[in-house]
Structure 1
Amino acid sequence: MRAWGGEQVEQAVAGAVALLRTATGRDWDGVPAGRLEWSCRRTAEHIASDLINYAGRLAGRAQNACVPFEIALDEHTGNADVLDVVETTGALLAAAVRTTPRGVRAFHPYPFGSADREGFAAMGVAEVLLHTHDIAAGLELAYEPPAELCEDVLARLFPHVQPGSAPWPTLLWATGRGELPGRAPVTEWRWSNPLVLPTERLTLEGVTPAAAWDLYEGGDGGFPWVEGGPYGGTRDAAGMVVKEYESGVHRPEWGMFVAVRREDGRAVGAIGFHGAPDEEGRAEVGYDLAEAARGHGYATEALRAVSAWASSRDDVDQLIAKVERGNGPSHRVVTRAGFVKVGEDEELFVYALRG
């Protein structure tokens, strides 16, 4: 999977600044930024504050709360100077993204309490694109960022939003800034960083639609794998995520997790759900491991973790796992995780765990 982060932050900032520099001689304080209550000037300062805040969280490895600081511009700072600050803070975020090791996470409240370097890069890009749109609307400037950049942001931060044929209008609609034919107006929204579940030896990292696409197409999904990984079942599961995303029914917490071994940062397999719970509160779980990682109890450890998370929710009454009759190791995994056999057919045993 191609690297995503610092370059995209720089691309977004460069495009925004290039446009806004054409209007630095105008009154930014007296003009509202699009549909926002902020002025164009306040919105530009907000972009810079977000970029430096994200860089600070990554660099400082904030874990439990936002880093309590913000930018205060000098008195009499002009519009062109504000754009200089945006460029500088964008460069700092890009540098923080590039120098933060893979797997490091820092605090962000929405929705699961943390984000990795790719998540902070995507949030930074989103802030730049969306608020440049707001400022451009207030100043009556034409603005449309590259489609690929918008598509990437949607696939990383808006996994619950069905992608449209035009990524930029879709991103504007998803954030309450525009309309799309056939879709109701958006009045409240949040982006979504993936859920991460820690275990004793593993980190179960939620897979974004962007990573799922890459896995499905034969890539690594952005994960360093053990020898022989990812296994075929992981790629099949990634295809399920892609299909749900394209259909607009994907719920990221009920998708797929890659199991990353803490001791060396290598991905050993994947585990996840075959969709959200049904009306009766039943959800099906599946898993697989690369052959080189089998025999160490990783599958049992991962299954216990996702089962505990799912069983703690009010919308889950029962987890289901289906195992081929001849797969002895997998039968042992589900029983060690607390599942009991409740049915069978010619090919499969069906196991259940009550919430």
Structure 2
Amino acid sequence: MGGERVQEAVAGAVGLLSTASERDWDAVEAARSQWSCREAAVHVAQSLIAYASRLAARGKDPYVPFVVAAEDGRGGEGALRAVETAGALLAATIRTTPRGLRAPHPRPFGTANPEGFAALGVGEVLLHTYDIAEALGLAYQPPAELAGFALTRLLPQVRPGPTPWSTLLWATGRGELPGRAPVTDWHWVNNLVVPAERLTLESLTPATAADLAAGGDGGFDWVAGGPYDGTREASGMLVKAYEAGVHRPEFGAFVLVRQEDDRAVGAIGFHGAPDEEGRVEIGYDLAESARGHGYATEALGALAEWALARDDVRTLMATVDHANHPSQAVLTRSGFVRATVEEERALGENHGADGPLQVYLRGGGRH
């Protein structure tokens, strides 16, 4: 789907901007830019080629050592041909890149997967086409699905507005939304991954979470019995947090992907951002066919280490039924210790629990 989205975005941009290709694009400055319209279009082509090259290099190097430059004297038409060709190359590269491969992208988590680079390509095309079109006096509004594709994968912390396109423009400093302050500083946010020994913990974007919550596979190849009910419930919680504008990407849900065969075996994640005391709750589940291999212990240990290395996390908390002895063993093996009776009573009341729960804690001087 990512490659198709890139080509759709490029086709729409080229179709509109070609109606003004006879203009002197070097003499017109793109909106909100120090580039001319031709330079802005060349930048789009360069970005698409850069994304394709990072994926094609299979993540071996941060940057591929070559420079792409457009010939002078080709005007707007030449720049659009460069964009069209670069878009085709990126789309083809996305289609032939393994789903789980990650290549360098600097902010904020250092890498992106093929879908992430597809969203980056779509975002570049949509936003700079808008800037160029405005400078040339053209009206541009891409399909809502394209704007939503970029928005739900690259700006997961942004509360959706009236439409995906108006929200994307506002979130990138190009428009206004009622009741929201203007945006002056922003950057794309690709999904976070946390490596473990045999697993990779891949954080869910609002788009993949919505698919899982609706009964889909979220783009993952699941082992038998997956995804488990808890994964779908956690995905629904993430979607609700996103729609409310309180989703923090680093404190969402993660799918556990087995490295040896790129198959998803379960999920783990947080119940929200840390509270004022630096306490955050964590939960996990596995498909029944993946149990008994130590995956939950491995994933919990990796995510706990990642979280407790942050300045805003002091204590991890997990609640488990008294009868769930396997989960209790997972927590113990992962460095959690049983809370005191008083702590369990207070925390259980805060959760509105129907029955007795055991509470386990790690961090805050307990590990």
TM-score range, shorter chain: over 0.9
What is the root-mean-square deviation of aligned Cα atoms in Å?
1.0
2:180 aligned residue? 183
Corresponding residue SS for 1:29: helix
Write out aligned runs for 1:323-338 (5 A): 323-338=320-335
Aligned to 2:352: none
**Partners in 2 of 1:315 and 1:56 — Cα distance?**
36
Note the alpha carbon deviations across 1:42-99, whole angstroms, 9 max, x for none. Answer: 1000000000000000001234523243321223222211111111000000000000
Match of 2:357 in 1: 348
Counterpart for residue 137 of structure 2: 140
Structure 2 counterpart of 1:86: 83
Structure 1 residue identity aligned to 2:329: R
Report if the CA contact (8 A) 1:33-1:40 is conserved.
Answer: yes
Match of 1:18 in 2: 15
Alignment of 1:174-323 (within 5 A): 174-323=171-320
CA contact (8 A) 2:54 2:62 kept: no
Helix, strand or coil at the partner of 2:43: helix
Residue 173 (str. 1) matches residue 170 (str. 2) = yes
Q: What residue ranges of structure 2 are gaps of 5+ in the alignment?
A: 346-354
Conserved in 1, the CA contact under 8 Å of 2:256 and 2:266? yes
1:208-228 deviation digits (Å, cap 9, x = unpaired): 000000000000011000001
**Retained in 2: the 8 A contact 1:224–1:266?**
yes
Is structure 2 residue 155 aligned with structure 1 residue 158?
Answer: yes
Cα pair 1:66 1:108 within 8 Å, conserved: no
Q: Which moved more, 1:131-140 or 1:65-74?
A: 65-74
CA deviation string 1:90-143 (max 9, x = no partner): 000000000001101100011101000000000000000000000011111000
SS in 2 for 1:352: strand
Check whether the contact 1:310–1:316 (CA below 8 A) recurs between aligned residues.
Answer: yes
Whole-angstrom distance in 1 between the partners of 2:187 and 2:279: 27
Distance in 2, Cα, partners of 1:78 & 1:129: 20
Aligned length: 352
CA distance in 2 between counterparts of 1:169 and 1:146 reads 12
Determine the C-alpha separation between the residues in 2 that align with 1:333 and 1:52.
45
Matched, 1:28 2:25: yes
- 4+ residue segments displaced more than 6 Å: none
Tell me the SS of whatever aligns to 1:260: strand
Amino acid at match of 1:263: E
Say if 2:24 and 2:75, in contact at 8 Å, map to a contact too.
Answer: no
- Label 1:64 to 1:71 Cα distance change in 2 as closer, same or farther (>3 A): closer
TM-score normalized with structure 2 length = 0.94
Distance of 2:61 and 2:151 partners within structure 1: 26
Matched-pair contact (CA < 8 Å) for 1:299–1:333 = yes
Unaligned 5+ runs, structure 1: none
In the alignment, residue 359 of structure 2 is paired with which amino acid? Answer: V
Q: Which of residues 96, 100, 124 in structure 2 aligns to 1:99?
A: 96
